[in-house]
Amino acid sequence: MSFRDKLLQAARARDSWLCVGLDPDPARLPVPDVAAFNRALIEATADLVCAYKPNLAFYEALGMPGLRALEETMKAVPPDIPIIADGKRGDVGPSAGAYARALFETWGFDAATVNPYGGGDTVEPFLQYRDKGVFVWCRSSNPGAGDFQDLVLGPPGATGGQAAPAPLYRQVARQAAGWDRHGNVGLVVGATYPAQLRELRQLCPRLVFLVPGVGPQGGEVEEAAAAGSDDRGELAIISASRQIIYASSGGDFAAAARREAERLRERINAGRMRA
């Protein structure tokens, strides 16, 4: 089954385009065991989500215990729910190939986020895995995203056969759409920039969007769902991490995470109806 089909089946079965980011910070965990923390979260929310998204940095920062916790976490996810590796990998060809093998073959993730800064040949090794999702980092949710992503490309006042000036993030989106030969390419577009999110959805109507940045980063849930969804109210994975997994710092953390996930799913569905 392709990533896209698996995602659609999970989302439609649960009436949910919510993705829970599993980003364990030892300083905030109510229990000492990362794998046990994640298992409790997964058991509490598995009927409410379309995907889970571990941010690899949080596991790598813990060394080998962190990687073992990631392995146990992946085993805890029901097999019909996609798991997205959030690592923003990107490098020259041989290294990119090794990254792709690591994430898709060794670890068995269903999808991964990639950094396109090095150009098409750095993304191509990921695209070879036709049944895996490849989310191209396009318009990030952080405050400094515009330092590079808003830079305008092309000659000012271009006319005729010349391409009109456009910001870098838009060119990345166009390139990504061109790479989508096997229906496995998506975009990472932050919820904190809803106007750009809406613009990119118009530019790339058939790509799946991974939309981080709701909650603590400032993105508004309903607006992100409305701007990012396609004309069927689908294809926008709204990702939330801290506001769900740290909804409580006490022993009721799993129950609190479920309540927050239910609330976000309702808000996402309200936004989807606007799409």
- CA 108 from centre of chain: 17
pTM for this entry: 0.94
Q: Which of 6, 53, 75, 88 is catalytic?
A: 88
Tokens for 87? 């690592």
Assign residue 210 a region: left if phi > 0, alpha if psi is -120 to 50, beta otherwise? beta
CATH class of 3-274: alpha beta
The one-digit pLDDT tens for each residue of the chain (275 residues) are: 999 999 999 999 999 999 999 999 999 999 999 999 999 999 999 999 999 999 999 999 999 999 999 999 999 999 999 999 999 999 998 999 999 999 999 999 999 999 999 999 999 999 999 999 999 999 988 888 888 888 898 765 544 445 678 899 999 999 999 999 999 999 999 999 899 999 999 999 999 999 998 876 656 999 999 999 999 999 999 999 999 999 999 999 999 999 999 999 999 999 999 87
Residue 6 known to be catalytic = no
- B/e letters for 139-149, b = 16+ CB within 10 Å, e = fewer, are bbbeeebbeeb
Write out the DSSP string of the chain: --HHHHHHHHHHHHT--EEEEE---TTT-SSS-HHHHHHHHHHHHTTT-SEEEEBHHHHHTT-HHHHHHHHHHHHHS-TTS-BEEEEEE--SHHHHHHHHHIIIIIS--SEEEE-GGG-HHHHHHHHT-TTSEEEEEEE-SSGGGHHHHTPEES-TT--TTSPPPEEHHHHHHHHHHHH-SSS-EEEEE-TT-HHHHHHHHHH-TTSEEEE--BGGG-B-HHHHHHHHS-TTS-SEEEEE-HHHHTS-SSTTHHHHHHHHHHHHHHHHHHHHHH-
Place of tokens 């010349």: 162
Tokens for 14? 């649960």
